[in-house]
Amino acid sequence: MKDLLNVLIGIASTPALLVALIAVIGLILQKKSISNILQGGIKTFVGFLVLTGGAGIVQSSLTPFGEMFKHAFSVTGVVPNNEAIVALALTKYGTPTALIMLVGMVVNILIARFTRFKYIYLTGYATLYMSCMIAVIMSVSGFTTVPLILLGGLILGMANALSPAILQPFIKSVTGTNDIAMGHTGNFGYMISAVIGKLFGNKSRSTEDLKVPKGLSFLRDSTVAIAITMGIIYVILAIFAGKGYIEAKLSDGTNFIIYAIQMAGTFAAGVFVILSGVRLILGEIIPAFKGISEKLVPNSKPALDCPIVFPYAPNAVLIGFFSSFVGGIVSMFIMIAFHTVIVLPGVVPHFFCGATAGVFGNATGGRRGAILGSFIQGIVISFMPLALMPVLGNLGFANSTFSDTDYGVVGLFLGGLGTTGGIVMITTGIFAVLAIMLLLTVFKKKPVNTDTVVKK
- pLDDT value at position 357? 97
Rounded distance between C-alpha atoms, residue 213 and residue 410, angstroms:
47
Number of residues in the chain? 456
What pLDDT is stored for residue 378 in this prediction? 96
Separation CA 357–CA 187 (nearest Å): 9
The whole-angstrom separation of Cα 447 and Cα 444 is 7
Indicate whether 452 pLDDT > 50. no
Distance CA 292, CA 434 (A): 24
Amino acid of residue 289: F
pLDDT over 90 for what percent of the chain? 41
Per-residue model confidence (pLDDT) at position 396: 61
pLDDT-derived band at 454 (thresholds 50, 70, 90) equals very low
The number of beta carbons lying within 10 Å of the beta carbon of residue 72 is: 17
Question: DSSP string of 305-352?
Answer: -GGGGGGG-HHHHHHHHHHHHHHHHHHHHHHHHTT---B---HHHHHH
Alpha-carbon span 32 to 178, nearest angstrom: 24
> pLDDT category, 7, cuts 50, 70, 90?
confident
Tell me how far apart the alpha carbons of residues 287 and 290 are, in angstroms, rounded to a whole number: 6
Euclidean distance between CA atoms 307 and 271, whole angstroms: 9
Task: Report the pLDDT value the prediction gives residue 242, as an integer from 0 to 100.
Answer: 92
Find residue 301's DSSP bridge partners. 119
Indicate the pTM of the whole model.
Answer: 0.79
- Quick one: residue 364, left, alpha or beta (phi over 0 = left, psi -120 to 50 = alpha)? alpha
pLDDT at residue 456 is higher than 60: no
Task: State phi, psi for 39 to the nearest 5 degrees.
Answer: -60, -45
Q: ∠ at Cα 45 (44, 50), nearest 5°? A: 95
Q: CA-CA distance, 245 to 111, in Å (whole number)?
A: 53
**What are the pLDDT digits (tens) for 101-157?**
878 888 998 999 999 999 999 887 788 889 989 999 999 889 988 999 999 999 999
DSSP string, 89-124: HHHHHHHHHHHHHHHHHHHHHHHHHHSS--EEE--H
Torsion of CA 49, 19, 98, 10, to 10 degrees: -60
Residue among 133, 437, 181 at smallest CA distance from 303: 181
pLDDT in tens, 270-328: 878 877 887 777 677 767 766 776 677 888 899 998 989 998 998 899 899 999 999 99
Q: List, in order, residues 6 or more apart from 227 with CB less than 8 Å away.
A: 264, 265, 267, 268
Question: What are residue 106's phi and psi, to 5 degrees?
Answer: -65, -45
CA atoms in the 13 A half-sphere facing the CB of 73:
16
Mean pLDDT, rounded, for 394-407: 77
